[in-house]
Amino acid sequence: MKILTVENISKSFGDFKAVDGVSFSIDEGTVFGLIGPNGAGKTTTLRMIMNIIIPDSGSVSLLGNSHLDKATNQIGYLPEERGMYKKMGVGELLLFMTKLKSMNKKEAEKQIDYWLERIDLMDWKKKKIEELSKGMQQKIQFIGTILHNPKLLILDEPFGGLDPINTNLIKDIMLELKENGTTIIFSTHIMESAEKLCDEILLINKGRDIVSGRLSEVKSNFGKNNVLIEYDGNDGFLKRSDQIIKYDNYGRYVEVQLKKDADPQKLLQEAMADVRISKFEIKEPSLNDIFIEAVGSENNGESNHE
Ligand code: ADP
Ligand code: MG
């Protein structure tokens, strides 16, 4: 079942087109990464899904409803701006957040204690929000979005501002929620976290879809153009080969980027004619490689026209 369907949404601010005809849909139980550089239009897209910003054109359907109101108790949303009522107590604020989702108080209190323990902030339950560090406040806001066990979780930069330990903690909780059937869409400009978590991605740049699909397919479509070679001998084959875009040579170990339709087997033959090979590995591109290549070539392409 499709949990979320976005059809051809666009949004301009004055003359500037922040989101330009973006479409995607998300199956139940999927972790979906909305990725792209700063200013790509991720937050604007998520705000349109949440009906905070009204699209100029296009449509959004959430849990089968074209109107968010009907689905709001089944959605958890972590906005990019981390505003919380600073003077409120931690427990008090969390209880308030569950009330907004029409949660029963007894169940709410049970969930609050469970999650405060999980994120290691139980001792802070009676403190005021303003007494917590930014990262701690962010963890509180994160659990505030999941207390009501939403079917769909929408997280705008959930790892922004967190240290590596807390990043891991939130990542683990996201995976655990996924195991329990929660569908998750999150935005990030940090490729490592997207790479570990996502089943599917949509990479946007300047408001437009540039790469999308299941992460495994995106990677294989992108081609396996990176080769690692461990060798012993003279590196003449690297200079002679017409298969190579560039290489990074460490003496006995070289990382090679092949041309798009190059044949790694041919490079292997060329290498074998020159050197002894102890390792020849065709490496799948990382999401970071894909990001840099896709965004970089788009941006270069455009500046050439200017
Ligand atoms: P991202 O979340 O991918 O970093 P945003 O969606 O926040 O990007 O912003 C996309 C672009 O739209 C940016 O260039 C930003 O300056 C612009 N933008 C976003 N919100 C507004 C607004 N309310 N008014 C004017 N410009 C905006
Ligand atoms: Mg953003």
pLDDT tens string 137-151:
999 999 999 999 999
What average pLDDT does this structure show over 53-67? Answer: 90
Place of tokens 């403190």: 127
pLDDT of residue 302: 54
**Complete DSSP assignment for 234-297:** -THHHHH-SSEEEEEE-SSEEEEEE-TT--HHHHHHHHHHHEEEEEEEEEPPPHHHHHHHHHHH
| Region for residue 84 given its phi and psi (left: phi exceeds 0; alpha: psi -120 to 50; beta: otherwise) | beta
pLDDT tens string 67-122:
777 788 899 999 998 777 889 999 999 999 999 999 999 999 999 999 999 999 99
What average pLDDT does this structure show over 188-206? Answer: 92
Q: Taking Cα atoms as reference points, which of 223, 201, 197, 220 lies closest to residue 210?
A: 201
* Residue percentage of the chain with pLDDT more than 90: 73
Let me know if 118 is exposed, middle or buried by CB neighbors in 10 A (0-12, 13-18, 19+).
middle
Ligand 1 contact via 43 beta carbon (within 6 Å): yes
Name the pTM for this structure.
0.86
Measured by CA distance, the residue closest to atom 13 of ligand 1 is 39
pLDDT of residue 301: 60
Give the closest ligand to the alpha carbon of residue 44. Answer: 1
Ligand 1 contact via 212 beta carbon (within 6 Å): no
Ligand 1, pocket-test mutation among 43, 189, 291, most atoms within 8 A of CB: 43
Q: What is the mean pLDDT of the chain?
A: 91
Give the closest ligand to the alpha carbon of residue 208. Answer: 1
CB 61 within 8 A of CB 4: yes
Let me know if 4 is exposed, middle or buried by CB neighbors in 10 A (0-12, 13-18, 19+).
buried
pLDDT tens string 259-268:
878 888 999 9
